Homo-oligomer: A and B are copies of this chain.
Amino acid sequence: MEDIKQYMQSVGQQARAASRIMAQADTAAKNRALEAIAAAILDGGATLIAENAKDVAAAKVGGLDSASVDRLTLTEKTIRGMAEGLRQIAQLADPIGEIGGLSYRASGIQVGKMRVPLGVIGIIYESRPNVTADAAGLCLKSGNAAILRGGSEAIHSNQAIAACVHAGLRAAGLPETAVQVIATTDRAAVGELITMKDYVDVIVPRGGKSLIARISEEARIPVIKHLDGICHVYIDDEADLAKAIRIADNAKTHRYGVCNAMETLLVNAGIAAQVLPPLCKIYLDKNVELRGDEAARAIVPQMKTATEEDWRTEYLAPILAVRVVANLGEAIEHINTYGSQHTDSIVTENYTKAMRFLREVDSSSVMVNASTRFADGFEYGLGAEIGISTDKIHARGPVGLEGLTSQKFIVLGSGQVRA
Contact = CB atoms under 8 A, between A and B. Distances in A.
Interface stretch (A167-175, A303-311, A375-383): A375-383
Contacts of A20: 336, 362
17 contacts: A109-B370, A109-B379, A119-B392, A202-B392, A202-B393, A217-B220, A222-B394, A243-B414, A254-B417, A366-B408, A367-B412, A369-B412, A369-B416, A374-B418, A393-B393, A394-B406, A396-B409
A118 B392 contact: yes
A127 interface: no
Given A24-B359, A360-B24, A367-B413, A406 B418 contact: no
Interface in A292-341: 336
Interface residues of A, number: 68
A397 interface: yes
Contacts of A398: 409
B365 A415 contact: no
B411 A103 contact: no
Nearest to A405: B392
Given A24-B360, A394-B394, A418-B254, A380 B222 contact: no
B367 A410 contact: yes
A380 B105 contact: yes
Q: Sorted from nearest, which 8 A-B pairs have the closest CB atoms? A: A370-B413, A250-B417, A243-B415, A373-B418, A367-B411, A394-B394, A369-B413, A365-B409
A114 interface: yes
A27 B370 CA distance: 29
